[in-house]
Amino acid sequence: MHLQIHRDQMTHAINDVSKAVSSRTTIPILTGIKISSHSEGITLTASDSDISIEYTIPLEEDGNLFVDIKQHGSIVLPARYLNDIIRKLPSEFVELHVNDRFLSTIRSGRSEFNLNGLDAEDFPRLPQIEEEKVFSIQSDILKMMIKQTAFAVSTTETRPILTGIMWALEGDQLQFVATDSHRLAKRQATVEALPELAFENIIIPGKSLLELNKILPDNDSLIDIVVTDNQILFKTDRILFYSRLLNGTYPDVNRIIPSQSKTNIILNTKEFLHAIERASLLAKDGKNNVVKCSVDLGGVMEISSTSPEVGKVTDEIEIKSIEGEELKISFNAKYMLDTLRVMDSEEVQISFTGAMSPFIIQPTDAEQMLYLILPVRTYQ
């Protein structure tokens, strides 16, 4: 193997595939990045047990030469060194030369690195995916949907299925649901799909989607998505991102979303967020971080929190509009902060059905989003 690669292209590719490099050294070859050449350019591959990423650097683009292949081949090089080395090389191009004992020479300007590589034949094969169920979504919308739901997945393995985000597609509507059984996030968006394509109960590990989110571009380019029984594949121009799916049946969350409400209020999102932030300041060591809200018909919401050792905080914000009964309710401030921080609407509507029932938070300007928080029982 002997080639020349554009350094910044290589840096970018390593950075993206690194998201899938295993940090555990139980399978040493997975701590490496596979580099292989082919007629279209070179492909970098990394994989751990959950995700695999392939990044292809084309031979050229818009008349700029990126890769010059003198002799085809493939090699696995240690990811943790490769990243730093390529980034710090002095010249615009990097020469990679691999001899028959996997000893690899990386040359750039007057710098030369000799690295012990591993046989690319030993690198695991990526899943074979038949492209049956394919649909497309804009990259920035997909990123937004991930951001607006992933925070609600479970971080414990008590119910492994809840560590994933459940996807369902019907018609041109793609829905994400995440819940850790204390709060729930639901987000819907329009995608480009053939009408006969429909699925439900596709559960993707939350971690996989967060890694995907780091790689996807923040623009309106289309991402092709292929769903199979146990894998999902995301395709961009240069990247193939594979994630395993979680096995099992996702709980029917529609059962727990109340359809009626007793108190409906509208608040300014930022004002409410800042008041909750202040109320949670004293409780930062506390396990539950409970804040109390009281809604009175006079149009004021009082938000308070007490930490026996440190002190007490009370805040008031204006209620923009109110329908229904007065109410006092307590909840975990963290759940509310997570929710309000991913909302980009100026106002939020909150629908309560009593102090002990889950309540709904929704932006006033979009029906495609719904958040649910279970209140906390307090004895005061």
Residues forming the site for a copy of itself (CB under 8 A): 78, 81, 84-85, 88-90, 110-116, 274-275, 277-278, 281-282, 284, 309-317
On whether the CB atoms of residues 126 and 242 are closer than 8 A, the answer is yes
Task: Considering the complex, state which of residue 27 and residue 281 has its C-beta at the smaller distance from a copy of itself.
Answer: 281
**Least distance to a copy of itself, CB of residue 116, Å:** 5
Task: Considering the complex, state which of residue 27 and residue 103 has its C-beta at the smaller distance from a copy of itself.
Answer: 103
- Tokens representing 292? 């109390």
H helices of the chain, where? 7-17, 79-88, 139-150, 206-215, 269-279, 333-341
Task: Considering the complex, state which of residue 113 and residue 199 has its C-beta at the smaller distance from a copy of itself.
Answer: 113
**Least distance to a copy of itself, CB of residue 5, Å:** 17
Task: Considering the complex, state which of residue 116 and residue 288 has its C-beta at the smaller distance from a copy of itself.
Answer: 116
The SS3 call for residue 173 is strand
DSSP secondary structure letters along 82-127: HHHHHHH-SSSEEEEEE-TTSEEEEEETTEEEEEE-B-GGGSPPPP
**Least distance to a copy of itself, CB of residue 306, Å:** 9
**Least distance to a copy of itself, CB of residue 73, Å:** 18
Whole-angstrom distance, CA of residue 221 vs CA of residue 230: 26
Task: Considering the complex, state which of residue 77 and residue 150 has its C-beta at the smaller distance from a copy of itself.
Answer: 77
Task: Considering the complex, state which of residue 257 and residue 300 has its C-beta at the smaller distance from a copy of itself.
Answer: 300
Whole-angstrom distance, CA of residue 304 vs CA of residue 290: 9
Nearest to 295 by CA among 266, 254, 337: 266
Task: Considering the complex, state which of residue 65 and residue 103 has its C-beta at the smaller distance from a copy of itself.
Answer: 103
Q: b/e for 241-271, b at 16 or more Cβ within 10 A?
A: bbbbbbeeebbeeeeeeeeebbbbbebbbee
Sheet with 321-324: strands ordered across: 199-205, 164-170, 173-179, 183-190, 369-373, 359-363, 347-352, 263-268, 321-324
**Least distance to a copy of itself, CB of residue 66, Å:** 23
Measure Cα distances from 197 to 132, 167, 194 in Å.
9, 13, 5
To which residue do tokens 């990259």 refer?
139
**Least distance to a copy of itself, CB of residue 122, Å:** 18
**Least distance to a copy of itself, CB of residue 275, Å:** 7
Neighbours of 40 (CB within 10 A): 11
**Least distance to a copy of itself, CB of residue 270, Å:** 11
Task: Considering the complex, state which of residue 90 and residue 298 has its C-beta at the smaller distance from a copy of itself.
Answer: 90
